[in-house]
Structure 1
Amino acid sequence: MAPKKKPAKGKEKKEKKGSAGKDGAAAPGAADVEGASIDELNQKVVTLEREKNKEEEYRNYMQLERDKINAFWEITKKDLEERRADLRNKDRELEEMEERHQVEVKVYKQKVKHLLFEHQNNIAALKADGELALKLQQDDFRRREGTLGRDKRSLKKEIKEQDVSHQELVRALRVEAAKEGSKARQGFELAARELAAKHERRLKMARDEMELRRKHELHEVEERKNAHINELMKQHEAAFGEIKNYYNDITANNLDLIKVRSEDLHARWWFADLICRKARRVEGGTSVGT
């Protein structure tokens, strides 16, 4: 506001100076009033009144121009402050969006880590159950084999204690027992192998199923995460682009507006200075003529 009041003060000084110049110019002519006629005096009064009216009109015009310039400056300053406030608000909104995005990405990473941990625990539990079942089957087979061995030894002992007359029968029974024992052993071994193979197949199927389920779940989680991240990135890029374009448009428009108004203000000051110079020349010519 101070730079705009200075021209007014300068103008007042010029008016005072002009008035003083007029008084100074009129003072030497005061001695000629006594020798002038009534018509000449009236003509002189009319001329002075006309010049005074012109000076008042010029002063009013300059005051009006000064008020217009002050009003224009205040409007431009207020508009620029509002634009700057809008830009600060947009910057804060962009920072808040970025912070929310980082929090969401961190939450999704924690969820994926939790799912991987649960999946590993499930695989470990299934593996432990399969190994325990296989161990129980092997223990049962060893118990049965031990029982069969004890029965066989008892049978041999009984055969030895039989009468010699029954040696042929004993030998036949031995042969039969050996055959049965061999068959039983082979049968148990086959059953054990089949049981082990069966449990191995079940364990493999369980592992394959869990692995397939894990891959499917991880794939779904990854797709959802990537889709959400891509959507957030698109939204953020679009919002950032809009804010950037809006900021560039505002900056360009404000610069153009300030340039145009500065040129207009410069033209007004140049015109006012031109009028002041003309007024001084007119005042100087009037003083000389007087």
Structure 2
Amino acid sequence: MTREQLEAFAQRIKEENDREREERNFFQMERDKIRTFWEITRNELEEARAQVRNKDRALEEGVEKNEEELKFYKQKVKHLQYEHQNNLTECKAESLVALKQAQDEYAIKEKELLEDKRNLKALMREQDLSHQDQIKALKMQNSEDVSKARSEFETRAKEMEMKYEKKYTELRAHLNEKHAMEISEVEERKNEHISNLMKHHEISFNEMKNYYNDITLNNLSLISTLKDQMEILRKQNERMSKQVADLTAENKRLADPLKEALDQIKEYKRQLENYERDKQALANAKLMLSQKLKCLEDLRWSYDALELRFETLEKERDELNNRFVQAVLEVQQKTSVKNLLLNKRIQTLSQVAEHREIVIAELQAVAKTPPLRSNQKLEEILSKKNAQIADLQYELARVCKAHDDLLETFEEKLQVYGIPKQELGFTPLKIIPEGQGGLATGPAGLVAANR
């Protein structure tokens, strides 16, 4: 082969070697991981078996202890039964003695009560006699009060009768005067009107002699109207005289209802005693009713407002719920993809670092005194790679912390709007990555504080 073919072959062999080394490292890591998992499960199995043995031992001890306690309590119950029997016999003897004493005391108290009963009967007879005397005195006083009230009402009735007679005479005189004044006024107006008509007739007769027939007809019609007015005034006079006669008859007729009115006044006075109280109660009831109606109207308005607010809050809750679900799903998808990418980068960087360490170890093994410059370059490369790994781990922890903070923020918003977590339909997964212990517990850089 030529030189170029040898170089290409060497390059291909080198690439295959690198690929095989990477696969070997990968399978070695998988083997170590499986071995670690196996050791962990074996330790957990041993711990579980030890816990089972401890539980069995504790169960046996509990059964033995229960049997001992059962024997102890049986002996204690027997002892208590014996003491109960002794106490029962003592109580029976004491109760017989107390019963005998109570019977003696009851006989003595019965005699005392019979004596008190006889004394009370005598006292009741004396009180009945005194009550009968008081009733007689009250009846006499009541009859005197009735006679006084009757005399007072008779005097008041006479006074009212005289008062109404006086009012009737004054009213009749006033109506007569008014009637005379109206008649005189009508006569004056009639005379004035007649004089005016006569003057007008003379002027018209002088000026309109050719129209004598028309004027005569007008005068005749005017005379007929005046006759009608006179007839109306005569009827009014008759009506007024009839009203005077009716008032006189009504006055005589009201003499009998006056007595009935006096009796009704007595009844009304009796009813008037409770009228003010009932009126005050009615006013209070009306005031309370108005207040209750006002409160009812306010409550209706507040109910309508709350109902509208409830509908708006329901819409906001549904909208926030949908937005929250979408946001959580998007964040979970983004964080899961980013976490996978970061894990892959960390794995690759860790593999590269291990590969570098292996290469350095091989180089140190091959050359006992390596050059100082090559060691420095390798250390710089390793420090850079380690710094990149640390940065990636910190970025992974920060993203996980931001995801958890975002979930907490949404949960707080759900509590503020009164939405239970069960209505989401899924359980949000909180990520707690390894190596997050050094991070601050406050919000990550992606989430702001709740205002």
TM (norm. structure 2) is: 0.20
Bigger relative contact order (CA 8 A; separation at least 6): 1
Name the TM-score, length of structure 1 as normaliser.
0.29
